[in-house]
Amino acid sequence: MADASGVSFIVPCFNEVGAIEKTIRDLYESLDSTGVPFEILVVDDGSTDGTTEILRELAMDRVSVIFHEGNQGYGAAIKSGIRRSRYDRAGIIDADGTYPAESVPELLAHITGNDMVTGIRTGDVRAVPLLRRPAKWFLNRFASYLVKKKIRDVNSGLRVFRKDVVIRAWHIFPDGFSFTTTITLLCALENLKVKTIPVDYRKRKGRSKIHPLKDTYNFFLLLMRITMLFNPLRIFMPIAITTFIFSLGSLARDIIILNLTDTTVLLFLFSVIFLMIGLLADLINKRIR
């Protein structure tokens, strides 16, 4: 039975030898200053750079380390921490020193009455690499469109949330980097109470594990999948309407030349098909839920 009085903070970690110990100590100090019961669960996801040795020698009260045999993924590490956690509120923070542990008390101060509190990277310090900024901007805008709510940071790695938000939808959470994106979309689509707190984002220590092209593509697919699970019409309806408008344009041309072309017929049929698929998907979704 989970304890409702405290928070379990999970630190997923893979090859962060240069930052892991300071991250844990800073997080411990911040949590200890709140007076809230807490535990820190560090999940070593198969590190090979000396991180494992540092964690084995780390002896701190209320800090536990979970070791994965091999690298299973960022999301898998968070899920391992949630499985072992004792409190009904969970928090996550990246192990690379980018997120300020001193912002954790502010997040905890707002979790009562909310389902999730997210630290969004809009503070005074924003060391987001230039190559990742266009993809980050596009994903935030696309996610906002799909859920019909403004999302300013879809995949922030600093947040506190009620653990049952994840547990009741456990099967949709991936093992990769998309865990944070999934919980952001889930809360938005389920109309859960979410509060955002601006935080700094510092230059990371060590090498990033994110592959810009591969992970951006995977994020895009995830946005589509999650939206299909909760609101498929948000995807199919614009396609149906756009195709129908093109069919009208093609029909206007056919009227001028007095000849009904195959293009017009096909565009009209496609618009009807997309509309029917969207309505059917929406009906199945609502019946299942």
Contact 32, 65 (CB under 8 A): no
The pLDDT value recorded for residue 194 is 96
pTM of the model as a whole? 0.81
The pLDDT value recorded for residue 139 is 77
Alpha helices (H) along the chain: 20-34, 51-57, 74-84, 104-109, 133-147, 163-167, 179-189, 212-230, 233-257, 262-288
Q: Tell me, what DSSP letter sits at residue 171?
A: G
The pLDDT value recorded for residue 163 is 96
User: What is the spatial distance between Cα 157 and Cα 147, in angstroms, rounded to a whole number?
Assistant: 20
Contact 31, 104 (CB under 8 A): yes
Judging by DSSP bridges, how do beta strands 194-198 and 159-162 pair with one another?
unpaired
The pLDDT value recorded for residue 289 is 60
pLDDT tens track of the chain, all 289 residues? Answer: 455 679 999 999 999 998 999 999 999 999 999 999 999 999 999 999 899 999 999 889 999 999 999 999 999 999 999 999 999 999 999 999 899 999 999 999 999 999 999 999 886 666 666 656 676 777 788 888 878 888 889 889 999 999 999 999 998 898 887 899 899 988 998 889 999 999 998 887 766 666 667 767 777 777 777 788 778 888 899 999 999 999 999 999 999 988 889 999 999 999 999 999 999 988 887 776 6
Strands of 63-67's sheet, edge to edge? Answer: 63-67, 38-44, 7-13, 89-92, 159-162, 116-120, 194-198
